[in-house]
Amino acid sequence: YRYHHLFAHLLQNQLRQEQPQLVSSLHEQAGRWFLYHDDDEYQREGLYHLLAAESWTAACELLEQQLEQWLWSRGELTAVLNWLEQIPDEVLAQHPSLLTWKAVSLSLTAQIGRSQHYLNLLKPDENNSRWQGYIAFVHSSNAMSTDQPALSVQYAQDALEFLPADAHKLRSLILQNLGLAFRLSDDAPAAERTFQQAAALAQECHNRPSLFNAYIQLGDLALQLGDLPQAEMYYQRVIEPAEQNPALSYMPQVAFAYGAYSYVLYNRNQLDEAYALVQKGIQLVSRIPNGQLQHDAPILLCGILAARQQWPEAQAVLDQAIATAQAHETDMRLERFEMYRARLHIQMGELTTAEAWLAKLPLTPNDPIHFKNRFDFFTLLRLRLAQKRLTEAEQILNRLETTLPNGRS
């Protein structure tokens, strides 16, 4: 099974043309050959062949044995989702653990509607507290994405109660979700404490993907609070190990850290350095299936291009990001990208187009301000200033100042 990939491609094309009926059986033979060897890379290669052969029973058995190990050791959330997407729903329905993981993966990639669909297919098992913990975790993540932070906190706390104390890796992930729920509630001190707990637990169980996630969350929180040095410190805790060990660059967290750190440099007006970092993040995330769905690179790149007054290029970046979000039905990402496109139109002086974005939003100046809509209000503020509607702008600014998150310096 080992030969140059170009020669392999030639032989495979010839096989499909001359003996297409053999393709599936050969994939299955190859899959079982790889599975015979007790090696992680061989097991992954075997899974590829089993999925290609539509040998669903063997593929599901392998995933049930290895999925968590692959996820925890390599942080390959998008790869896990890609594997699960290839298995028909009626097959997944016979494997509750894989069905749960599909709901988890969809939730963590902001595909909330689809996540809830697979969650609804699960039959409750009151005797399996571990899977009850997983299900509560998905409910927490989905509640957070639908602007229900209090419910998200409750589900996350339920998940921690269901799980055994020695489930360190999963508990670290749930603590990060709980920290995000506190962020959504604008309780920055509680969010920071929870992220720190998640980082400590991840470090204790040597779970580098979860540790990197926690550092990025702490960096994002520091950035939200305006503490650029603190944000830089946390992002560097992800970037430095990856630069010392290039093998870590396969982890999506590294790509996200480059993008986030570029935003720190952007805020310092170090545009060339920021551009180089965000391009590095884009290059790394391009290796990850569906990785672009989780990455803020289009927003960061657009900001840098706009600062350079490269308007057509900036607009093209966001247009492509919006098209990708629409194609994958990631509503949360779509709303975010459209809001930043409205900001770009304001910078370009296209105020009528920006006003059209506002007209589509279920937002009025008197709505309560919270984490989820705060950036919309900042965009509205920019629009009113650009329109010279200064009285309205002052009212919005005063409201924003009184609703900054607890802990904002």
Q: Do 408 and 319 have their domain in common? A: yes
Query: Do 141 and 188 sit in the same domain of this protein?
Result: yes
Match 């984490």 to its residue by tokens.
371
Q: Is residue 241 part of a domain?
A: yes
Pair 386, 340 in one domain: yes
pLDDT at residue 294, rounded to an integer? 56
Considering the entire predicted model, what is its pTM?
0.76
**Across residues 69-98, what is the average pLDDT?**
84
> Domain boundary at 169, 198, 225, which?
225
CA–CA distance, 12 with 28 (Å, rounded to integer): 15
Q: For 6-44, how does the pLDDT look when each residue is reduced to its tens digit (9 = 90+)? A: 667 777 777 677 776 666 777 777 767 877 777 778 778
CATH of the domain at 187: 1.25.40.10
Quick one: 408 and 309 in the same domain? yes
Question: Which tens digit of pLDDT belongs to each residue from 254-304?
Answer: 989 999 999 999 999 999 999 999 999 888 887 765 555 456 788 999 999
More confident residue, 202 or 1: 202
Shared domain check, 401 and 331: yes
Q: Is 281 in the same domain as 373?
A: no
405 in the same domain as 384: yes
Q: Whole domain around residue 279: which residue ranges?
A: 226-295
Count how many domains the chain has.
Answer: 3
CATH of the domain at 283: 1.25.40
Is residue 60 one of the residues assigned to a domain?
Answer: no
Q: Hey, which residues does 406 pair with through a beta bridge?
A: 187
Please give the helix or strand (H or E) that residue 89 lies within, else none. helix 89-92
Residue 108 lies in a domain: no
For residues 79, 80, 85 and 91, what is the CA-based torsion angle, rounded to 10 degrees?
150
Residues 249 and 337 in one domain: no
- For residue 168, is it within any domain? yes
Do residues 207 and 251 share a domain?
no
Mean pLDDT of the residues in the chain = 86
Q: At residue 200, does pLDDT exceed 90?
A: yes
* Dist. CA 236–CA 277, nearest whole Å: 12
In the prediction, which pLDDT does 289 show? 58
Residue 46 belongs to a domain: no
Which residues, listed in sequence order, are joined to residue 187 by a DSSP beta bridge? Answer: 406
Domain check: are 209 and 153 in the same one?
Answer: yes
Phi-psi region of 226 (alpha: psi -120 to 50; beta: other; left: phi over 0): left
